Amino acid sequence: MGHDESLPPGHFSYFEPEQAYHSSKLGMWIFLATEVHLFGGLFAAFAIYRWRYLEQFNEFAQTLNWKLGALNTVFLLSSSYWMVRAVDAAQKGLNKKVIKYCNITLLFGCGFFVVKFFEYKAKLTHVPPIVPSTHVFYGLYYTMTGLHAVHVLVGVVAIWWVRGLAKKNRYSPVYYTPVEVVGLYWHLVDVVWIYLYPVLYLLAGVSLGVATAH
Amino acid sequence: MSAYAATDDHDHNYINWEKGFWSWWMSIDHKRIGLMYLGTMLMFFAIGGFFALLVRIELFTPGETIMGAADYNTAFTLHGVVMIFLFIVPGIPATLGNFLLPLMIGAKDVAFPRLNRLSYWLYVLSGGVAVLAIVFRLDTGWTFYAPYSVQNSTAVVAATTAAFLGGFASILTGVNFLVTIHNMRAPGMHWGRLPLFVWTLYATAILQVVATPVIGITLLLLILENVFGLGVFDPDLGGDPVLFEHMFWFYSHPVVYIMILPAMGIVSEIIPVFSRKPIFGYRAIVYASVGIAAISFLVWGHHMFVAGMANLTRYIFSFLTFFVAVPTAVKVFNWISTLYKGSVTWDSPMLYALSFVFLFLIAGCTGIHLATLSTDAHYHDTYFVVAHFHYTIQGGAVIGLLGGLHFWFSKMFGRMYNEKLAKVGWLFLFIGFNGAFLPMFILGMEGMPRRYFDYPVEFTTLHQMATIGAFVNGLGYLFVFGNLGYAVFRGKKAGTNPYESLSLEWQTPSPPAHDNWETIPIVTDWTYGYGKPEDDESHAGH
C-alpha cells in the first residue's frame, strides 16, 4: 500500500510501512485462498462428471492438443521464474531490472494467449464446431480454461502496473510491496494451470488402467 | 484542502469533515462507508418488505386475491432475492462492522480503505443489476434451482450477475476485516481482550472468504449454462440439477451464519452493559463463535434430505446439524448467566438483545425438527421451514441489527432518539413478528407447502393471522426507522457515552473524529469489567 499523493494525508499515514507491507501480503494470501475455492468448485464438478461419463471424457480428452498445452505450461512456468527475479530485483531497489524482468514475464504471458488463441480456433473451426454445448466435457473445458485465461489477463494488467511503478523508480529495499503481492497472484495463476493441464489434457485413458500415450 | 487541518478541532467529526455527495461517494473513511452501506441496504430492505407484503396480501384469501399465480411467483422470488443478496448478506458486517471495527480495536481505519470503498461500489452496482431482475420478473425463487433456472434465462442471468457482484463485495469485506483484526489492533488489544463483536466479525469474515467463492463459481456456471448451454446443471444436456443444489447450499448454509454471527456479537456487547456485569464465559463465547463458523461448512446437506442422497450421508449431515446446536446453546446459556444477578435496565437496545435471545431460541429449537430425518421428510418445503428461517433471520439477524443500531446510534450520530417511541416501535415489531410467523409453524405442521399460490379453505384463518401480523410487523419497522431517522437530524444531543460502556469505541467523542484517534490508545484491560471496583487485570471470570 503506497503513499499516493492524490489521497488525503490523513488516511494513509495511519499505517507504518512495516504494518502496511504485512497487511498487503496477508490480504493477498487470503484472497488466493478464495481463488482456490473458486477453481475448486470447477475441479469438483469435473471430477463428478468424469466419473459419470468416463468413456466420453477419455475420448474427448484426446481431442485436446496436449502439445500446445505443454507449450503453455512451459510459458507460464518460465514467466513465474522471471516474476521471481523481478521480486528479487525490487527488494534490492533495482528498478531498471524490475522493468526488464517484468517485460520478459509479460512476453510469456502474451505468448500464453497466442497459443490459447490457436487452440480455441482449432476447436471452433473444427467440422462440426466444438462448442461448450457439444458435451459437458467441453462445457467444463471452456469454462475452466476460460476462467483461467481471465486470471492470466488480470495478471498481465497487474504486472504492467507493477512495471509502471518501476519506471517511476518507486521500489527500494524498504518498499517493494506491489511487486511481491502481484508476484504471489501470478504464481497462483501458474499453479492453477499446473493442475488444469494434466486434469484436462493428460488424463485420457488413465483410469481405464491403460496409460495411453498419444 | 484546509479541512485536513481541522482534525484537531473537536467540533469537527467524520460527518461534517467534508460536505457534498462526492465527499461521501469517494470517501475511504470506514465510518462513512458503513453509513452509506446502511442507507443503501435499508432502501433494499424497504423494497424487499414491500414484496413481502404483496405476498401476504395475496395469501389473505384462497385463490386469487390481488394478483395471478405468475405475479405471485415473481413477488415471493423478488422478496427473497432482495432480502438475501442485497440486505442481509452485506448485513451487519458491512454496516455496523465497518463503522465499529476500527474503533473497537483502536485503529484509525481498516487495513485496506480503498478496497472497502470498492466493496461498497460493487454492492451498489449489484443493486443496479438486480433491478433488471425485477424488470424481467424473476420467478425461480431465491434459490435458483435448476433445471427451471436454465429455462428463464434473461431474468436469471440478471439476478445471478447481481448476486455474483454482491459476493465480490462480500469477499472484499471479509479479506479486509481478517487483515484488520490481525494487523491493526492497538497496543495491548491482544486476542484475549478483543470485544466479542469483533470476534464474531472475525468468524464471519472467515465464512465470507471461504464460502463466497463457491457460490461465485456456482452462479458463474449457471450464467454460462444459460448463455452457452454447458450441460453442467441442465438434465437435457446430461447435467445434474442436484449438483447445483449441493454447490448452492455449500455456500448458502454458511451464509446464514454470516447473517447471524455478528448479531450474536451485538447481543454479547449489549447484555453486559445493561446488566452491569462482566460477560459470563468470554472464552466459551469466542470458541463457540469460531466453532459455529467451522461446523457450518459441514451441514449443507440438511437442505437436501429429500432430494436424493445416500442414507449414510443423511445420518452424517443430520448428526452434524444437531452438533451445531451445541456452540449455539453455549452462547445462550452464557447470555443468561450474564443476566443472572445483574442490575438489568430495560433500555431499547436491551429489549432487542433479549428478544434476540427469545426469538433465536425458538428458531434453534424448531431447527431440531428439521435436522431430524424422519420429521424433516414431513416438514420439508412447508411453512414450517419458512417460519423457522424467519425466526432465525428476522428474529435473529434483523433484531440484532436493530439492537445494535439503537445501542450505537448516539455513537454514530452524536444524537439520541426518543426512548419511549423506540420502546413502542419495539413492541409493534415484536407482536407483529410473532403474529406473522407463529401461525406459519402450525400451517407447516398441517402440511401447507411453501411458495404455493393457493391453499385449502381450512387454512384461511391462519393465513389471515399471518397477514395481519406481517402488517403490524411492517408498521413496527416504519415506526422504528421513523424514530431513528428523525433523530439523525433532530434528536437531542447525546453525551459521549450515555450507557457508560467500557468498550474502546465509546472512549472517542460521539460522533468520532475523521481519523478516530489523535493518538492510538493503549489498551490495559478487557472491555467487560463492569460492576467491579478498579480491579486491575483480574477478569477471573474467563
Q: What are phi and psi of A195, to 5 degrees?
A: -85, -40
Any residues with CB less than 8 A from the CB of B460 and at least 6 apart, and which? Answer: B61, B62
* Domains in chain B with CATH codes: 30-507 (1.20.210.10)
Q: What are phi and psi of B492, to 5 degrees?
A: -65, 145
- Please indicate whether, in this complex, the C-beta atoms of B214 and A136 are within 8 angstroms of each other: no
Q: At what angle do helices B196-228 and A17-52 cross, to 10 degrees?
A: 40
Banded model confidence at residue A127, pLDDT cuts 50, 70, 90 = confident
Instruction: Please tell me which residue of chain A has the smallest CA distance to B243.
Output: A45
Residue A44 distance to chain B (closest CA, Å)? 10
* Domains in chain A with CATH codes: 35-205 (1.20.120.80)
Residues of A within 8 A of B174 (CB-CB) are 30
Is the distance from CB of B155 to CB of B464 less than 8 angstroms? no
Cα distance between residue B172 and residue B404, in whole Å: 23
SS3 B449: strand
Any residues with CB less than 8 A from the CB of B207 and at least 6 apart, and which? Answer: B174, B254, B255, B257, B258, B261, B293, B296
In this prediction, residues A71-99 reach a mean pLDDT of 97
DSSP code at position B501: -
- Please indicate whether, in this complex, the C-beta atoms of A136 and B113 are within 8 angstroms of each other: no
- Please indicate whether, in this complex, the C-beta atoms of A133 and B218 are within 8 angstroms of each other: no
Residues of A within 8 A of B28 (CB-CB) are 7, 11
- Please indicate whether, in this complex, the C-beta atoms of A23 and B183 are within 8 angstroms of each other: yes
- Taking the complete model, does pTM exceed 0.90, yes or no? yes
The answer to whether residue A80 scores a pLDDT higher than 60 is yes
Q: What integer pLDDT is reported at residue A213 of this predicted model?
A: 44
> B336: number of CA atoms within 13 Å, CB side?
9
Compute how many other C-beta atoms are within 10 angstroms of the C-beta atom of residue A78.
16
Q: What integer pLDDT is reported at residue A207 of this predicted model?
A: 52
- Which one is predicted more confidently, A100 or B134? A100
Banded model confidence at residue A205, pLDDT cuts 50, 70, 90 = low
Task: Give, for all 542 residues of chain B, the pLDDT tens digit.
Answer: 333 333 444 568 899 888 899 999 999 999 999 999 999 999 999 999 999 999 999 999 999 999 999 999 999 999 999 999 999 999 999 999 999 999 999 999 999 999 999 999 999 999 999 998 889 999 999 999 999 999 878 899 999 999 999 999 999 999 999 999 999 999 999 999 999 999 999 999 999 999 999 999 999 999 999 999 999 999 988 899 999 999 999 999 999 999 999 999 999 999 999 999 999 999 999 999 999 999 999 999 999 999 989 999 999 999 999 999 999 999 999 999 999 999 999 999 999 999 999 999 999 999 999 999 999 999 999 999 999 999 999 999 999 999 999 999 999 999 999 999 999 999 999 999 999 999 999 999 999 999 999 999 999 999 999 999 999 999 999 999 999 999 999 999 998 899 999 999 999 998 999 889 888 899 988 889 998 755 444 444 44
pLDDT tens figures, A163-176 = 999 999 999 999 99
How high is the ipTM of this complex?
0.90
List beta partners, residue A175.
A172
Instruction: Please tell me which residue of chain B has the smallest CA distance to A132.
Output: B230
Q: What integer pLDDT is reported at residue B75 of this predicted model?
A: 96
Instruction: Please tell me which residue of chain B has the smallest CA distance to A12.
Output: B113
